[in-house]
Amino acid sequence: MKTENRSKSDIGMTPRRLEALVDGIFAIAMTLLVLSIDVPKIPADKVAAELPRYIRGLWPELSQYVLAFITLAAFWMGHHYRYRYIRRVDAGLLWINILALMFVALIPFTTELVGDYGEMPIAARLFEINMLLAGMAFCWQWLYATRHHYLVDDDLSDRIIKAGLMKELFIPALSVAGLVISCFSPSWSSSVYFLAPFLHHHNHRKRRGIRSD
Amino acid sequence: MKTENRSKSDIGMTPRRLEALVDGIFAIAMTLLVLSIDVPKIPADKVAAELPRYIRGLWPELSQYVLAFITLAAFWMGHHYRYRYIRRVDAGLLWINILALMFVALIPFTTELVGDYGEMPIAARLFEINMLLAGMAFCWQWLYATRHHYLVDDDLSDRIIKAGLMKELFIPALSVAGLVISCFSPSWSSSVYFLAPFLHHHNHRKRRGIRSD
Amino acid sequence: MKTENRSKSDIGMTPRRLEALVDGIFAIAMTLLVLSIDVPKIPADKVAAELPRYIRGLWPELSQYVLAFITLAAFWMGHHYRYRYIRRVDAGLLWINILALMFVALIPFTTELVGDYGEMPIAARLFEINMLLAGMAFCWQWLYATRHHYLVDDDLSDRIIKAGLMKELFIPALSVAGLVISCFSPSWSSSVYFLAPFLHHHNHRKRRGIRSD
Amino acid sequence: MKTENRSKSDIGMTPRRLEALVDGIFAIAMTLLVLSIDVPKIPADKVAAELPRYIRGLWPELSQYVLAFITLAAFWMGHHYRYRYIRRVDAGLLWINILALMFVALIPFTTELVGDYGEMPIAARLFEINMLLAGMAFCWQWLYATRHHYLVDDDLSDRIIKAGLMKELFIPALSVAGLVISCFSPSWSSSVYFLAPFLHHHNHRKRRGIRSD
């Protein structure tokens, strides 16, 4: 590992080491989502009648699981994208990262809440606020790292910095849309996150022409 | 890490980085399986009578734990096998992977369901459908990566591509067999997955003669 | 990996391999904290009335989650800082590490306890004792590794060794402060850990002038 | 990574890749142990009376947590020791490994059982049988890998092979001792595992004189 010579606040943390914690927390949060789907305790004499009804009623929990999973995957891909360009980690970036991970690790909780009480506007909104805060923390990271090319290469083009910012703003924008929709239809408001993979892919295709790395 | 020069949709994601997420999710899903085995709350005065009965009744949950564990291990080994040959990751492959992991992370849930209600055909079938969908997503990955040698080396032999496809189709085939058996005997249908390690080994032995890497 | 030639008790464990276990346990403990926030089972006819009340009552659990998360992050950063200088691992260091991780892995439990019963002095104190013991075990590690430059480079300056010790004593000191405050106000005593990131950052800024590595 | 040329059953799995799964499963199993300690739901008006009693009653669960944690740590260190010498992984070794991990991942369950019902011989015995089976599977791995120097270097000395076998037999021996003691005193039988770190360290010190690597 090459030592960075910048005299800026260097904490000797390499991006690679941070990625190990980040990958771990994402993998665990994504897998813990499954605990948001409860298996009921049905007395033996009622199983034949109740189990099929329970399984038919699984749909809200399963769809919430799916969209939390793909949004977390989109966040993880965003993190990977960001760290292609970030060369150094300082204490500020690290703590913004911890803040973002704190919201990421909370997602299994808000997912369970909306899976159980999705028809209540307040549950849907907590989920969307959770996603909004996580997205904004990741966005802050990018702004922090790229301002005056603080933690990125000096020759990183403004185009890539702006394209990165657009990417970062995408999930916060979906979350605001979800919050607005929740005023009319809480049950459907979280569905906006189904768009996460499509736009990521789209952004990517547009970016292809301007790659400079 | 050598940069790939292909002009195809390059997202700068290396197979190695993806493997970190994949290994994490497999390790966690395999370990979370244990949560599918509940420890009952028995009042102190009934422990002497109830605990031995509870332990004798553990068999369905334990055997379901075992076969889910070995099937996940077989999936993980399949993933490793696949990524020996996959040289690049693009957005399409990444999202097919996320889809597969979404079904993998769901397995602790369907395992708990069939451990608790294994005598109900619908529980056994949900487990088998879960495995079928995971297996098909992994199979799709292989087809996606090898079609026109898209993400593999240009000189990868057709024999290896076909042998890989056979491997990928193995757990989906077991799942279809399990679904058929579940019409006659739900409690036994999941036992087909006990074959997972044996056939993996068999495939491997057959492959030995045709290795070209 | 270069083999170390020292004739001291060499167990062939590289710091890198130990870090994999440590990163894993930290990532999991940080993510499991979310399980300390329970989602209640509210009967369908009472959801409209009870859910908003439950959500307003979440504050103690959420704030406990936040401060456990950032304290774990501070421990993790301390571990990283320590292992910048530790060159070898022997059986003694390994078992002190295991001891520290044992207290780290217990934090989700004491976090849940204080999230649920934070107004009880005994719950707050158990949390603070848990943090104190973890912090002291990490401190012990540093003393063990640096005494007579046992497991660090021979030319590591005394200044860095002392600065490291100050860092290690920081969370134990917060914990003692918390224990004292718990005699007057249990609900507020754990708030001392909100200082964790600030002082880490502060230590770091002071350290900048004396870096010798 | 240098490719191995041996014509033996090569599945292209490197020890390094296997270690990632193993480290993950150990880290998770060790952290999930904490879930074996339940936080009770005490009604608000009874907290002042019941919580201190609950905390005084935590001792069996906490001590079971501690000894499961250190035994898992000893297994993990044993795994590390083993893989210093194992150069290749074949399908047989992989599946023996999966078998061992299956018993490792089960330990949080048997730990919870004995933490809750430790005074019942059957609970203590299940825990000890779990440890015995895990230990025997790890022992089998070593025998499999070293027989005719199958997966180790050709010049690995018989002394190291035998010293390794002694190490592997240590936790199974403790487990047999625990099973015998459980006939007289179930509550104390698991305490044998408190010896795990001491003997590991002792073995290690004896080994120091005969290191040939």
> DSSP characters for D83-122?
HHHB----HHHHHHHHHHHHHHHHHHHHHHHHHHHTTSHH
**Cβ contact D120–B48 (<8 Å):** yes
Which of D18, D30, D107 is the best mutation test for C, with the most CBs of C within 10 A?
D30
**Cβ contact A109–C37 (<8 Å):** yes
Q: Which run of H or of E encompasses A209?
A: none
User: How far apart are the CA of B109 and the nearest CA of chain A, in angstroms?
Assistant: 6
Give the mean pLDDT of A116-124: 91
Q: Which residues of A touch C65 (CB under 8 A)?
A: 102, 106
Q: Which residues have CB under 8 Å from C193's CB, separation 6+?
A: C67, C68, C70, C71, C131, C171, C174, C178
Q: Which residues have CB under 8 Å from C152's CB, separation 6+?
A: C85, C86, C87, C145, C146, C161
Helix locations, chain D, DSSP H: 15-32, 47-56, 59-85, 91-117, 121-146, 158-181, 186-189, 196-207
Predicted confidence band of residue D204 (pLDDT cuts 50, 70, 90): very low
The reply to whether C79 touches chain A by the CB within 8 Å rule is no
**Cβ contact B12–A208 (<8 Å):** no
Retrieve residue D123's tokens: 């609970």
Q: What percent of chain B has pLDDT above 90?
A: 62
Q: Which residues of D touch C93 (CB under 8 A)?
A: none
Three-state DSSP class for residue A155? coil
Q: Please check the confidence at residue C52 and state whether its pLDDT lies above 70.
A: yes
**Cβ contact D105–B23 (<8 Å):** no
Q: How many CB atoms lie within 10 A of CB B200?
A: 23
Q: Please check the confidence at residue D213 and state whether its pLDDT lies above 50.
A: no
Q: Which residues of A touch B29 (CB under 8 A)?
A: 31, 34
Q: Which residues of D touch C116 (CB under 8 A)?
A: 39
**Cβ contact C27–A28 (<8 Å):** yes
Q: Please check the confidence at residue C201 and state whether its pLDDT lies above 70.
A: no
Indicate the angle between helix axes B91-117 and A196-207, nearest 10 degrees.
160
Q: Please check the confidence at residue D1 and state whether its pLDDT lies above 90.
A: no
- What's at C98, amino acid-wise? I
Give the mean pLDDT of D156-170: 91
Give the mean pLDDT of D149-164: 91
What is the ipTM metric for this complex?
A: 0.86
* Closest chain D residue to B52, measured at CA: D122
Q: Is the dihedral of CA D112, D115, D120, D121 positive or negative?
A: positive
User: How far apart are the CA of B208 and the nearest CA of chain A, in angstroms?
Assistant: 34
Cβ-Cβ contacts under 8 Å between B and D: the total is 91
**Cβ contact D28–B31 (<8 Å):** yes
Q: How many CB atoms lie within 10 A of CB A52?
A: 14
pLDDT for res A207: 42
**Cβ contact B12–A81 (<8 Å):** yes
The reply to whether A105 touches chain B by the CB within 8 Å rule is no
Q: Are C47 and A47 in contact (CB under 8 A)?
A: no
How far apart are alpha carbons D51 and C117 in whole angstroms? 8
Cβ-Cβ contacts under 8 Å between A and B: the total is 90
pLDDT for res D10: 54
The reply to whether D95 touches chain B by the CB within 8 Å rule is yes
The reply to whether C181 touches chain D by the CB within 8 Å rule is no
pLDDT for res D159: 93
pTM of the predicted protein model: 0.89
Question: Smallest Cβ distance to C11: which of D48, D52, D204?
Answer: D204
The residue ranking higher by pLDDT, B13 or B77, is B77
Burial of C6 (0-12, 13-18, 19+ CB in 10 A): exposed
Predicted confidence band of residue B8 (pLDDT cuts 50, 70, 90): very low
Q: Which residues of B touch D28 (CB under 8 A)?
A: 27-28, 31-32
pLDDT for res A11: 63
Retrieve residue A136's tokens: 């904004």
The reply to whether A85 touches chain B by the CB within 8 Å rule is no
Q: Please check the confidence at residue D206 and state whether its pLDDT lies above 90.
A: no
* Nearest Cα residue to A136 out of A100, A167, A110, A185: A100
How far apart are alpha carbons B9 and A207 in whole angstroms? 10
Q: Which residues have CB under 8 Å from D191's CB, separation 6+?
A: D63, D67
Burial of B57 (0-12, 13-18, 19+ CB in 10 A): exposed
Q: Please check the confidence at residue B7 and state whether its pLDDT lies above 70.
A: no
**For chain A, how many helices (H) and strands (E)?**
8, 0
Which of D5, D11, D35 is the best mutation test for B, with the most CBs of B within 10 A?
D11
Q: Which residues of A touch C27 (CB under 8 A)?
A: 20-21, 24-25, 27-28
The reply to whether D49 touches chain C by the CB within 8 Å rule is no
The reply to whether C32 touches chain D by the CB within 8 Å rule is yes
Q: Please check the confidence at residue A73 and state whether its pLDDT lies above 70.
A: yes
